[in-house]
Amino acid sequence: MASELLQNVRLIDAVAGSDRPCDLWLHDGQVAAVSDAGSAAEPGELPDNTERRDCTGLVLGPGLVDLYSQSGEPGYESRETLTSLCAAATAGGFTRLTLLPTTQPAIDNPASIDWVRSALTSRNASHPFPSMPQVYLWAAFTQGATGQQLSELTELAATPIVGFADGRPLTNPLLLRRLLEYAQALNKPLALWCCDPAIQSSGVMRDGVDAIRVGLPGTPAIAETAPLAALLETLADLSIAVPVHVMRVSTARGVEQIAQAKAAGLPITASTSWMHLLLSTQSLSSYHPSLRLEPPLGTPADRAALVHAIETGVLDAIAIDHTPYTYEEKTVPFAEAPPGAIGLELALPLLWHGLVEPQHCSALALWRALSSNPARCMGQTLTVIRPETARANAPQPPAELTLFDPNSHWVPEPQHLQSLSHNTPWLHHPIQGRVLKTWQPKTC
C-alpha cells in the first residue's frame, strides 16, 4: 500500500478555512494524519515503505473543480478529445471537470450522456490515466442548446448530470420563465449566461475609451446587465427556490446586481472566468486573437470589481471555461476570431502569480473559488482535511488533493501542453508556478 509523508507543506484547506504549514501523511489513498510542521512521526512509526518528501515552499489544497468547460469531442475532435481534455485537467490540478453540452451533437438527451460516459470509461480502460479526473456533465436545457425549445428535462434529470446549462444565452423571456417553473421539481441547478446578442450586436470588446483607441467595435455593459436584471426579477416574481448559477459575470455592475440579489435572499450563485480576473481592455492593443472572448474582457474597473467580488465571496467561483480552437481557426484577424481560449493547464499558476503574490486576493479565497465553491454550486462537497478527523479510527474518504509549486518556472510550448489546441496569449511566454501532482479517488 502506498504511503507518503509530505513534510512542511503549506496546507490550504478551502473547506475548513485554514492556511498553515503542516506535515501530512497519506496512506493507501487516504489522509491518515495531519500534524504541525516538523512534528510528524519519527522513523519507525510509519510503514517502512513510506516516501518522505520535503515540501518546503509547496502548496497543498483540495483538488481543483472546474465548473464549466468545453470539449471538442464529439464533433470537433481536431480541437480537443475527451482524452486530451482529461490530461489537460490533471496537468492543471483539476480533480473534477464539468463539461458544457456545446458539442456536436449537443448533450441534450440520455443517449448522448451515455455515449460520453461510455467513451470516458473505455478510454480510461485502454489508456489508464495516472490520475483520472472525475468528469461531470451539464445537460442542455433546450434542444440542441439552441434556446428554441425545452429539452425533455424530466428524462435528463434522471441521468447522472450535475444540472442544466446551454452554455449559450437564452433570449426568450417566456421560455426562461417556463424553464424556471419546470425546474422546481427536478432538484438540479440551472446555469445561465446572461447576454443579449441584440445589444451585443457586432461588438468584440467591451465598449469604452479602449475600444475607441484600438478601433474595435464595442459591446456595452448592458448586454450583460439588462438580461441579468430580467433573470433576477423573474426569480423574485416566481418566489421559488430553484438553485440558479449565473455564469460568466464580467462587469462591475453585474457584481452589484449579484450582491443585491444575494442580500435579498434569492437562491443564486455566480462565477466569472479566470481570464477576466487577470486581463482587461487595456490588454487588447496586441490584437491577439486568443484574447477574443465571450463575454469580452472588461474595463480595468470591471476587473477590479471582479477580483474584489472573489475575495469577498459575492462571486462564488472561478470557472476555467476552457474553449479549444485549432491554429487555423484562431489565426485570423481579431474581430473574425471565434471567441474563447484554453486554460486548464494555466489558470492556477497565472492566478496565483497575478492575484495572490501581489496581495490582490488571499490564497484561501483563490483556492476556495477554484475548489470547494464550484463544487457547492453544483450541489457537491469536498473533503474537509482536519487533524482530529485524520487521526480518528473511522474510515476516511479518499484523498482528493492538488500539490502546487508556486516557484517553478516553465514555458507553455505546444509540446509541453496536454491540450490539442494552443489558443492562449501565454503560449511561448514564461510562467511561474506549476502543479506537481494530484491525488484522485479511483472513480470516473
Q: What is the pLDDT of residue 393?
A: 54
Answer for the pair 108, 101: CB distance below 8 angstroms, yes or no.
Answer: yes
Helix (H/G/I), strand (E/B), else coil: 242: coil
* Cell numbers linked to 251: 462587469
* Cell numbers linked to 50: 513510506
Q: What is the pLDDT of residue 68?
A: 98
State how far Cα 36 lies from the chain centre.
31
Q: What is the pLDDT of residue 390?
A: 46
d(CA 152, CA 143): 8
How would you class 129 by CB atoms within 10 Å of its CB: exposed for 0-12, middle for 13-18, buried for 19 or more? Answer: middle
**Per-residue pLDDT of the chain in tens (444 residues, 90 and over written 9):** 588 999 999 999 988 889 999 999 998 888 988 888 876 555 457 787 888 999 999 999 999 999 999 999 999 999 999 999 999 999 999 999 999 999 999 999 999 999 999 999 887 776 655 678 999 999 999 999 999 999 999 999 999 999 999 999 999 999 999 999 999 999 899 999 999 999 999 999 999 999 999 999 999 999 999 999 999 999 999 988 889 999 999 999 999 999 999 999 999 999 999 999 999 999 999 999 999 999 999 999 999 999 999 999 999 999 999 999 999 999 999 999 999 999 999 999 999 999 999 999 999 999 999 999 999 999 999 877 765 544 445 567 789 999 999 999 999 999 999 999 999 999 999 999 999 999 988 654
DSSP label at residue 274: G
Q: What residues form DSSP beta bridges with 25?
A: 5, 33
Q: What is the pLDDT of residue 36?
A: 86
How many other CB atoms are there within 10 angstroms of residue 309's CB atom?
23
pTM exceeding 0.85: yes
How many other CB atoms are there within 10 angstroms of residue 228's CB atom?
25
Q: Looking up cell 472513480, which residue turns up?
A: 443
Dihedral sign computed on CA atoms, order 237, 238, 244, 248 = negative
- With a CB cutoff of 8 Å and minimum separation 6, the contacts of 6 are 23, 24, 25, 26, 53, 55, 58, 60, 403
Q: What is the pLDDT of residue 321?
A: 98
Torsion of CA 92, 94, 97, 103, to 10 degrees: 0
Residue type, 290: S
Q: What is the pLDDT of residue 128?
A: 59
Identify whether 295 is preceded by a cis peptide bond (ω within 30 of 0): yes
DSSP label at residue 143: G
Q: What is the pLDDT of residue 130?
A: 60
Three-class SS of the chain: CCEEEEEEEEEEECCCCEEEEEEEEEECCEEEEEEECCCCCCCCCCCCCCEEEECCCCEEEECEEEEEECCCCCCCCCCCCHHHHHHHHHHCCEEEEEECCCCCCCCCCHHHHHHHHHHHHHHHHHCCCCCCCEEEEEECCEHHHCCCCECCHHHHHCCCCCEEECCCCCCCHHHHHHHHHHHHHCCCCEEEECCCHHHHCCCCEECCHHHHHHCCCEECCHHHHHHHHHHHHHHHHHCCCCCEEEECCCCHHHHHHHHHHHHCCCCEEEEEEHHHHCCCHHHHHHCCHHHCCCCCCCCHHHHHHHHHHHHHCCCCEEECCCCCCCHHHHCCCHHHCCCCCCCCCCHHHHHHHHHHCCCCCCHHHHHHHHCHHHHHHCCCCCCCCCHHHHCCCCCCCECCEEEEEEEEEECCCHHHCCCCCCCCCCCCCCEEEEEEEEECCCCC
d(CA 228, CA 293): 19
Domains of the chain by range and CATH?
A: 3-60+385-439 (2.30.40.10), 63-377 (3.20.20.140)
How many other CB atoms are there within 10 angstroms of residue 239's CB atom?
7
